Amino acid sequence: MTDIHPDADFQRFLAEDRFMIQRSRASGQYVFYPRTIAPGTGARDLEWVEASGLGTVYSTTVVRKKPQEPSYNVALIDLAEGPRMMSRVEGIAPDAVQIGMAVRARIVSQDGEPIVVFELAEADRNG
Amino acid sequence: MAESFPRGRTAIVGAATAGLGKSPGFEASDLAALATMAALDQVGLGLEDVDGLFFCHGTDTLGGLSFAQYLGIQPKVIDNSRTGGSAFQCYVELAAWLLDAGAIDTALIAYGSNQATASGKHVSTVQPMRYEAPYRPINPVSSYALAAARHMHQFGTTKAQLGEVAVAARGWAAFNPEAFKRDPLSLDDYLGSRLVSDPLSVLDCCLVTDGAAAVVMTRADRARSLSAKPVYVMGAASETTHREISWMPDLAVTGAARSGARAYAQAGVSAHEIDVVQLYDAFTINTILFLEDLGFCPKGEGGRFVEGGRIAPGGALPVNTNGGGLSCAHPGMYGLLAIVEAVRQLKGEAPGQQIADVELALAHGNGGVLSSQATVILGRDAAL
């Protein structure tokens, strides 16, 4: 067995304001979403490592709601470590998000749960 | 190991639809049963002949068992595996092997849905994915939108080119009495339609209809004694690349590139020999991606390829000649309707525009969010 409990661990890290992904000790392959084994190789040597939080927009869409509800961005982000994840880019208009933009992760609370979102990498996240 | 697909050794002998559009007062299995009997009647077979049942249901995960019970049969083989809307192309692939091996003698592939009158929207048992759900994509449309955005970025594909696909589908539907949407559609109408998930608008999305279809397959020798026009299964191959769009390796290249290449190799034909093309057009971007991945044009050229009405009635390449999922019908899963239209074109019995001298047809299925791809190549005796 393994002492990795993929989703429970990931969510616990997020609650501690840490964006953690997995890495195979032998190959250095990074893995997201969290698993008990490395996809493709089956390696059972995954360890948790802190993500750099840096990424690039791979694709983007705007979900258009009825007029009284705000539209919002949905994007696929290529993490600097390699894996891709769905998220959204905040801090600019949803339709201003463009493929290729450099973005940086931050953890926000949504409906009481911490989630990873992204903002433009140039922006001062403390500003 | 080289593939030894039983090329031309099995055939579709019956193919029918039932209740396309709106069919109030019917359950999914009611409509599937009507399509089943219509397909069996075409060749004088009865339910007692069916010893292989391939069926899936929108919400009943044991739907194959339920439908066998409804029909009052106890088949040797039941497959109700789910790959999304491509399941039916996968069923043809599996049925060909099982028939050729002698495991079964008569395969019934059937589907039905009452989603439009039951709920008015796409019905699905699909569970939201833990690592996508917080971002609230409207699936499936947002996933296809992400693929379309990527295609536009990489290849310069335009919104108007997506529109050409929608307008072409409507053009074919106008000839087809079975089609649900037959009123004229112009490119201007298309460009004015409301965005749902950029860059896709309402008119980039398939219909939500009721409907059912069924096909009957058997070995080629028996097919010739049952039907004057057997439609031979020349090749059938499927591929799966991912489940959610976040894990699709390359949003601009689908598994159709591999399923198509394998099916062509099995059949011993190439794209330029295909006379009519049926592609699973859940969204306009599908048609463009599949035209590229199945070799009808180079990668990245799909948008320019469909310009000028090339895939519309009167164009150089007849695509989705029934009106497709965009304008004919889309009862939750469309794959079997693509097969039925291919069979009808080969038999010279299309309800809409019949293409002259069809010897080879391709019916391509898509499941999930570009996740499962399955290609079936069908031919008349002249193609054997």
Q: What is d(CA B238, CA A11) in angstroms, rounded to the nearest whole number?
A: 36
In a domain, B59, yes or no: yes
In a domain, B4, yes or no: no
For residues B322 and B257, state if they share a domain.
yes
Is the preceding omega at residue A33 within 30 degrees of 0, hence cis? Answer: yes
Looking at the DSSP bridge assignments, the partners of residue B109 are B54, B215
> Tens digits of per-residue pLDDT, B18-46?
999 999 999 999 999 999 999 999 999 99
The complex scores an ipTM of 0.95
- Interacting residues of B190 by C-beta distance below 8 A, sequence separation 6+: B163, B166, B167, B201, B203
Give residue B1's pLDDT band: very low, low, confident or very high (50, 70, 90).
Answer: low
Can you read off the two tokens belonging to residue B131? 């690592």
Report how many Cβ contacts below 8 Å link chain A to chain B: 70
Q: Quick one: what percent of chain B has pLDDT higher than 90?
A: 95
> In whole angstroms, how far apart are CA B134 and each of A98, B56, B128, B193?
21, 30, 9, 28
Asked if B147 lies within 8 A of A63 by C-beta distance, the reply is no
> Tens digits of per-residue pLDDT, A96-109?
999 999 999 999 99
B108 has pLDDT over 70: yes
For residues B31 and B89, state if they share a domain.
yes
B303 has pLDDT over 50: yes
pLDDT at position A1, please?
A: 72
Sort out which chain A residues have CB atoms less than 8 A from B147's CB and list them: 59
For residues B221 and B347, state if they share a domain.
no
Cβ(B212)–Cβ(B18) below 8 Å = yes
Give residue B2's pLDDT band: very low, low, confident or very high (50, 70, 90).
Answer: low
| Rama region for B295: left / alpha / beta (φ>0; ψ in -120 to 50; rest) | left
Kindly report, as residue ranges, where domains of CATH 2.40.50 are found in chain A. Answer: 54-120
B89 has pLDDT over 90: yes
Please state the rounded mean pLDDT for residues B214-220: 98
More confident residue, B122 or B245: B245
* Option in A7, A58, A72 nearest B130 (CB): A7
> Å from B141 to nearest chain A CA?
9
For residues B158 and B195, state if they share a domain.
yes
pLDDT in tens, chain A (127 residues): 778 999 999 999 999 999 999 999 999 999 999 999 999 999 999 999 999 999 999 999 999 988 789 999 999 999 999 999 999 999 999 999 999 999 999 999 999 999 999 999 975 444 3
| B249 in A contact zone (CB under 8 Å) | no
Sort out which chain A residues have CB atoms less than 8 A from B246's CB and list them: 76, 84-86
CATH number for the domain harbouring residue B49? 3.40.47.10
3-state secondary structure chain A: CCCCCHHHHHHHHHHCCCCEEEEECCCCCEECCCCCCCCCCCCCCEEEEECCCEEEEEEEEEECCCCCCCCEEEEEEEECCCCEEEECEECCCHHHCCCCCEEEEEEEEECCEEEEEEEECCCCCCC
pLDDT at position B135, please?
A: 98
Burial class (CB in 10 A: 0-12, 13-18, 19+), B382: exposed
pLDDT at position B122, please?
A: 74
| Rama region for A72: left / alpha / beta (φ>0; ψ in -120 to 50; rest) | beta
> Å from B158 to nearest chain A CA?
15
For residues B97 and B214, state if they share a domain.
yes
Polymer length in residues for chain A: 127
Residue B205 DSSP one-character state? B
Is the preceding omega at residue B199 within 30 degrees of 0, hence cis? Answer: yes
Q: What are phi and psi of B259, to 5 degrees?
A: -65, -40
For residues B246 and B307, state if they share a domain.
yes
Q: Which domain holds residue B61?
A: 10-120+209-228
> Tens digits of per-residue pLDDT, B236-295?
999 999 999 999 999 999 999 999 999 999 999 999 999 999 999 999 999 999 999 999
> Tens digits of per-residue pLDDT, B317-376?
999 999 999 999 999 999 999 999 999 999 999 999 999 999 999 999 999 999 999 999
Top-tier CATH class for A54-120: mainly beta
For residues B315 and B180, state if they share a domain.
yes
Give residue B297's pLDDT band: very low, low, confident or very high (50, 70, 90).
Answer: very high
pLDDT at position A124, please?
A: 42
In a domain, B130, yes or no: no
pLDDT at position A26, please?
A: 96
Chain A residue with CA closest to B200: the answer is A61
Burial class (CB in 10 A: 0-12, 13-18, 19+), A124: exposed
Q: What is d(CA B26, CA A100) in angstroms, rounded to the nearest whole number?
A: 49
Asked if A61 lies within 8 A of B245 by C-beta distance, the reply is no
Cβ(B21)–Cβ(B329) below 8 Å = yes
For residues B221 and B193, state if they share a domain.
no
Sort out which chain A residues have CB atoms less than 8 A from B135's CB and list them: 74, 86-88, 115
For residues B218 and B200, state if they share a domain.
no
Give residue B3's pLDDT band: very low, low, confident or very high (50, 70, 90).
Answer: confident
In a domain, B97, yes or no: yes
pLDDT at position A127, please?
A: 39
Instruction: State the total domains in chain B.
Output: 2
